[in-house]
Amino acid sequence: MAKSPSELRTDPLDAVPGHAAEDRPSAGRVADVASASAAEVVAAHALRLFVYEAGKVRLIEDEAALAELPAALGRADAKLWIDVTAASPQLNSRLGDLLGLHPLLVEDISERDERAKLEQVGDLLHLVLFSLGFDGGQVYERELDFVLGRRFLLTNHSAWWDPATTRHLRVSVEDVMSRGLDHLLWALADDVIDGYFPILDRLGDEIDDLEDRVVASADRSLLERIFELKREAIAVRRVTSPEREMFNILSSREGTLISEPERLYFRDAYDHLIRLTDELDTYRELASATLETYLSTVNNNLSLIMKRLTGVTVVVAGIGAIGGLFGMSEAQYAFRLDEGPGFWIVILGSLALSAIAVSILHRIDWI
């Protein structure tokens, strides 16, 4: 029985950062593409087709976009940008058939569990990038898939990201597409990369704050936050490190569907990633230094406690030693004031020596 459009929509949590349903593997979901109509395959506003022809861009959405795509692909002078948002497996399969994508490539796009990578599949380029953000104070990452062909660019992503509102495309999609699909790919990727800098700035500010707080008070909660920051830095590194090599390839190697003039733009993105990874290494070292500072502060506090206990022991042990020499048998005479002056000289001398010991220990900051 054919499914209704509501049954083919993705999880409503897709729109909530940190809960995108399509970012989870889609194993076990079987798509009956052959029997599904266009209305069933395309969820509301899940597909946008930008067609650049004769210096103009036409935007077609949803079922109309799916119907127009074969005809647009047949026009040699048309440049196509297919933007897919929170797509169901059925829609990915249908687009794969229309665009001639390899089944493994369609599977990679649908499962949303890839690493950042660049691979050439036939005459197509498949890029997997990750956008970073904060959700509940923690760094999260979300997969973005780009497939670049000679005449089309396919972008596949979750519902939280709208590429049409990114920095380069906010003013005019037409201007960007007029310069080629490889330039469009750079414009989208550059916006993703620029979004990494606020993440690093926030991590750096928090590390600086932790350094000051650790010196003032080595609290256990600070230690837990230091370890969280180190994990977040590793997560960012896991994203940016392979992307650095990817853009190095795109900016320097021929035969990657990137034209010679556009390689300069990808070189600029590569330079940004170099700066990002350098700053990230610096922040990781600062986080490690903050952890060492925390451990040093704890050891210093422990040494201070031991010094004070030693000072108290010196004072008490001195008095106890003197009292032990005379014995408690003399106590009854002392209370009757029958003791001779020698007893009182010893008592006063003991107290004087204790006071001197306390003064000296206080002066050297032992008590």
Q: What six digits make up the tokens of 82?
A: 């297919």
pLDDT digits (tens, 9 = 90+) for 202-218: 888 888 888 888 877 77
In this predicted structure, the answer to whether residue 7 has a pLDDT above a threshold of 80 is no
Q: How far apart are the first and last CA of the chain?
A: 84
Asked if 181 and 154 count as a contact pair (C-beta separation under 8 A), the reply is: no
pLDDT digits (tens, 9 = 90+) for 52-102: 998 899 999 988 998 999 999 999 899 999 999 988 888 889 999 999 999
In this predicted structure, the answer to whether residue 299 has a pLDDT above a threshold of 70 is yes
Query: How many angstroms separate the CA atoms of 108 and 89, rounded?
Result: 11
pLDDT digits (tens, 9 = 90+) for 262-295: 999 999 999 999 999 888 888 888 888 888 877 7
Give the pLDDT band (50/70/90) at residue 337: low
This model's pTM is above 0.85: no
Query: b or e along 147-161 (b: 16 or more beta carbons within 10 Å of the residue's beta carbon)?
Result: bbbeebbbbbbbbbb
**Mean pLDDT score of the chain, rounded to an integer?**
78
C-alpha distances out from residue 355 to 196, 308, 315, 350, Å: 63, 16, 8, 9
- The single-letter DSSP state of residue 76 is T
Query: How many angstroms separate the CA atoms of 172 and 128, rounded?
Result: 25
| CATH, range 1-171 | 3.30.460.20
C-alpha distances out from residue 261 to 87, 266, 267, 270, 285, Å: 33, 10, 11, 15, 38
